Structure 1
Amino acid sequence: MNVQERARIRCHWLPEPDRASGPLYKALVDQLARDIASGVLGPGERLPPQRLLADALQVTVGTITRAYREAERRGLVEARIGSGTRVRERQSRAPDFHHLSHASGDSIDLSLSTPIANPLRSQQLATLMTRLATQTETLDAALAYQPEQGNRAQRETLSAWLGARGLPMPADELLLTEGGQHADYLTLQTLVRPGEAVASDALTYPGMIAAARQLGLKHLPVPMDTEGMRPDALERLCQQQRIRLLYLMPEHNNPTGARMSQARREAIVAIARRHDLLLLEDGVQYVLPEQRGQPFYRLAPERSLYIFSVSKILAGGLRFGALRAPANLIPQLSAGLRAQCWATNSLPGAVACEWLASGMADTIIDWHWQEVRARQQLLHDCLAGYDVQSHPCGFHAWLHLPEPWRAVDFVARAAERGVTLIGPEPFCVGSQPAPQAVRICITPPPDRALLQTALERLTDLLAEAPPVKAMPI
């Protein structure tokens, strides 16, 4: 019995690709996709080792390697160190992530990162709408087809507002988007090519995880410490993988609240230049100037993109934001946006820009930060003695659970006490193991009294022993 015959006997999956239909590695991937769809290969099933399959098909190992990589890029399989290449679990295609409340009944929602309710918002909006109704020229401009980069007057208004708050961005470097999530998706879809990967903190914003998965991109986790992403781990990863873009939340990581020092930012910029990485900084969780470090687009303007949105400071329903990018990337991003939707809706932009330019927004924003600070202090007072990370401007905190608590049990028991939390799983990139921690959002309760009630319930729960699970016989 020769090598091929022995290999074919050992291969539990033995494709018969159409060798005349084009590149052999693509034919193998097409066969793999069909076999997964038909149930020949089930979720979690391991593919044959590359050398074994190469021998069985009498092709080079390089052909099999290329096929497995293309299958991973398409989201059909996932490769794990020590576990080989396996068919991706179906449930892993869509992370347990939501942007609307799942709290039921009288449960106090601490699961969402949303602005604190304030009746002044609707009052100011009514005033703005009345004012805009008389501005025929502004309305006519908003109702017309817009350039791909966005309404010029709105970009100039936003540029002036951001510049006055320590974030100078020329209007020509801004591309208007329908919120931060749209900017995430547009950037990945436009600037990351097949076969390239994106990387981020090992624990990161679920919307970025969802966007990368939806686009079939390889998303790599970078180990973290108390400042977030570790430069030494990033350097090793860049030496091993072909990374195109690095997603960053340097002011306060979601969910952990970790904040990068200036030295950490400069170290990451040096790595990005050495390995030619694009840097995508998420600034949606707006931070006051006195609490803010130097943004990456000021440190490395030639390769940095920055996301801004009014969702956290005014209202998530406006769906208005902007993406700052180097001048050489604006045409490519504009073309990508044009292919998606021609241009963003200009009416929400007219409302948002009038709100910001009028000065009325500042009243709400100032009140909001005072309230956030007070709620952060309340949280740390209630959870004194426990391991809690947060940022003074953060809408949330990261609670490391004491032993023997496990996150899944704590979330379930909190729900029984009338408090809705979110566990760690939606924030984990790839096969990153979930830590025993939960995110606590302090902004959804309408007032501090209700927040205190929820925090006291959690404190009582932490003092108790977790439920004992029966051991299988």
Structure 2
Amino acid sequence: MDTISERFAAAPGPKYRALATALKEAIAAGELTPGDRLPPVRELAWTLSITPGTAARAYTILTDAGRLTAEVGRGTFVAATTRQPPGRPALLPEPRWPQRAVSEETEQVSLFSPKLPDMGQSDLIRDAFARLASSPPERLLNYPSRPAFTPAREAVLGWLRGTPLGPVDQQDLVLSHGGQNGISLVMQAVLRGPKPVVLVEELSYPGFRRAAELLRAEVVSVPMDARGIDPEALDRIAAQSSAQLLCTSPEVHNPTGIFTALERREAIAEIARRRGFHIMEDDCYRTGRSHERSYRALLPEQGWYVSSISKLLTPALRIGFVVAPKPWTSELRRVAEYGFFGIAQPLADLVADILPRAETLEIAERVRLRVADYVRAAVNALGRHDLIWREDMPYLWLRLPDGWRAGAFVQAAEAVGVQLRAADEFALRDGRAPHAVRMGINAQVALESFEAAMGRLRDLLDNPPDRIAV
């Protein structure tokens, strides 16, 4: 790899582009020949003193251009021929599912929820199922058991490495049927009495209130500002309502994208400690690194953590996980075991198989980078409007300009083939919502289709309906 290092050092531009250029030049010069296996992403990153994400992005560019091929479980190789998919940009591979041949004006692009691109995870999962087919009979015939799930719990802890959860071991963790089931498990563990009270942010993930309503809990909203939950309002409402649980998303708030800084989290944790309520942190929408300590770390007696693989690998498997505070681990296990005995043993074995694999981390990184391409496309089209976005967040929050109401804008967007969620879907039934919309990143449509949809939204935003004077 000496010549690659030299070419990389001499190439201009961002590091990922410089590495792609260096590899492309090495292929053209015959230094890398068809069938040659390239180093794993982490090994190449260490050699060149760059991040694994930078190396993965360079590999993705050349794979999409047909110069490299990626084979799950084997590695990345120089392609036998260089192939540029006809009519598509170098940064986007051919989609792995049929695309509808309809006009730009009538094509429906759903932005209701984020949709992940297939960056190799479908093959990864198929291969894992094939390996599981040869499992010993007892793994397929017996009820799930706590000891049998130990490898899966350890695999999840490895997946969560780098998330600041405080002291944690695999006994503190329970696997759930996705993040929503994890939320329900936490509520079942902590809520007590005939009419418990659950607090949510005034704009929040609708799954919080739906889970609470199933348990006949009262849901009360807490005002927010630009930094997250308003501590003074939280303290007042918690005292008045005798709240037992606060549901929040401080890393990537759904739907607004707000990040809650450490100082604000510490103030909220102190209120919870003094008032005696629990905090459940829903971290399902974060796709990048954690930026601050979790509520489980800040509030060791009352802080819960919920996440899943749905936004980085696939939502189809319904794999989630809950990490309990140390005093509540046995209660969490009791709720899960009494409720459904635990997830299916083959699913737990699948978790233990795929999460520790190096190629799984590489695929997750490629998913992040591809979603970021779509985010940038949206920002290029809509950036002059009041848009909240992050490259590690699979949706955007758009405050509408004067002249547009959320409901009317959603209807107008659907008329031009784009489906959105209005802000009032994230508020309580009697709550107030701003004139805003949430747009999930749909990376399962061609990038050109997504860009065209953003263009149609831009046209609507630039031409609001006439306001009526009163």
Query: Shared fold by TM > 0.5?
Result: yes
Indicate the residue corresponding to 1:100 in structure 2.
none
Any idea what SS the aligned residue of 1:392 has?
Answer: coil
Cα displacement (A) at 1:469: 8.9
Cα displacement (A) at 1:267: 0.7
Any idea what SS the aligned residue of 1:183 has?
Answer: helix
Aligned counterparts of 1:220 and 1:149: Cα–Cα separation in 2: 39
Distance 1:378 1:149, change over 3 A: farther
CA contact (8 A) 1:410 1:466 kept: no
Aligned counterparts of 1:293 and 1:287: Cα–Cα separation in 2: 14
Indicate the residue corresponding to 2:391 in structure 1.
392
1:198 aligns with 2:235: no
Aligned counterparts of 2:206 and 2:165: Cα–Cα separation in 1: 26
Indicate the residue corresponding to 1:298 in structure 2.
297
Any idea what SS the aligned residue of 1:316 has?
Answer: coil
1:235 aligns with 2:235: yes
Q: Which runs of 5+ in 1 are unaligned?
A: 1-104
Indicate the residue corresponding to 2:382 in structure 1.
383
Aligned counterparts of 1:411 and 1:325: Cα–Cα separation in 2: 39
The aligned runs of 1:303-314 (5 Å cut-off) are 303-314=302-313
Any idea what SS the aligned residue of 2:306 has?
Answer: strand
Correspondent of 1:146 among 141, 144, 147: 144
TM-score relative to the length of structure 2: 0.73
Percent of aligned pairs sharing the same letter: 29
User: Match for 2:445: what amino acid?
Assistant: P
Structure 1 runs, 4 residues or longer, greater than 6 Å off = 467-471
Indicate the residue corresponding to 1:162 in structure 2.
160
Aligned counterparts of 2:226 and 2:361: Cα–Cα separation in 1: 32
Deviations 1:104-126, CA, capped at 9 Å, x for gaps: x8311111123x22152222222
Aligned counterparts of 1:113 and 1:308: Cα–Cα separation in 2: 16
Aligned counterparts of 2:278 and 2:251: Cα–Cα separation in 1: 18
Indicate the residue corresponding to 2:275 in structure 1.
275
CA contact (8 A) 1:108 1:445 kept: no
Distance 1:430 1:192, change over 3 A: farther
Cα displacement (A) at 1:428: 0.4
Over the aligned positions, Cα root-mean-square deviation in angstroms equals: 2.3
Aligned length: 363
User: Match for 1:248: what amino acid?
Assistant: T
Aligned counterparts of 2:184 and 2:429: Cα–Cα separation in 1: 18
Any idea what SS the aligned residue of 2:245 has?
Answer: strand
Distance 1:185 1:223, change over 3 A: same
Distance 1:383 1:130, change over 3 A: same
1:209 aligns with 2:202: no
Cα displacement (A) at 1:367: 0.6
Distance 1:166 1:370, change over 3 A: farther
Deviations 1:122-156, CA, capped at 9 Å, x for gaps: 2222222223333x34x633642123697122112
Indicate the residue corresponding to 1:218 in structure 2.
218
Indicate the residue corresponding to 2:64 in structure 1.
none
Aligned counterparts of 2:241 and 2:164: Cα–Cα separation in 1: 36
Aligned counterparts of 2:274 and 2:187: Cα–Cα separation in 1: 21
Aligned counterparts of 1:447 and 1:149: Cα–Cα separation in 2: 44
Aligned counterparts of 2:195 and 2:164: Cα–Cα separation in 1: 37
Aligned counterparts of 2:337 and 2:362: Cα–Cα separation in 1: 35
User: Match for 1:426: what amino acid?
Assistant: E
Q: Which runs of 5+ in 2 are unaligned?
A: 1-105
1:413 aligns with 2:432: no
Deviations 1:67-122, CA, capped at 9 Å, x for gaps: xxxxxxxxxxxxxxxxxxxxxxxxxxxxxxxxxxxxxx8311111123x2215222
Indicate the residue corresponding to 1:55 in structure 2.
none
Any idea what SS the aligned residue of 1:127 has?
Answer: helix
CA contact (8 A) 2:164 2:294 kept: no
CA contact (8 A) 1:109 1:444 kept: no
Aligned counterparts of 1:433 and 1:340: Cα–Cα separation in 2: 36
Cα displacement (A) at 1:190: 2.9
Distance 1:220 1:464, change over 3 A: same
CA contact (8 A) 2:139 2:346 kept: no
Any idea what SS the aligned residue of 1:163 has?
Answer: coil
Aligned counterparts of 1:404 and 1:204: Cα–Cα separation in 2: 25
CA contact (8 A) 2:197 2:220 kept: yes
Indicate the residue corresponding to 1:81 in structure 2.
none
Aligned counterparts of 2:214 and 2:159: Cα–Cα separation in 1: 34
Indicate the residue corresponding to 2:89 in structure 1.
none
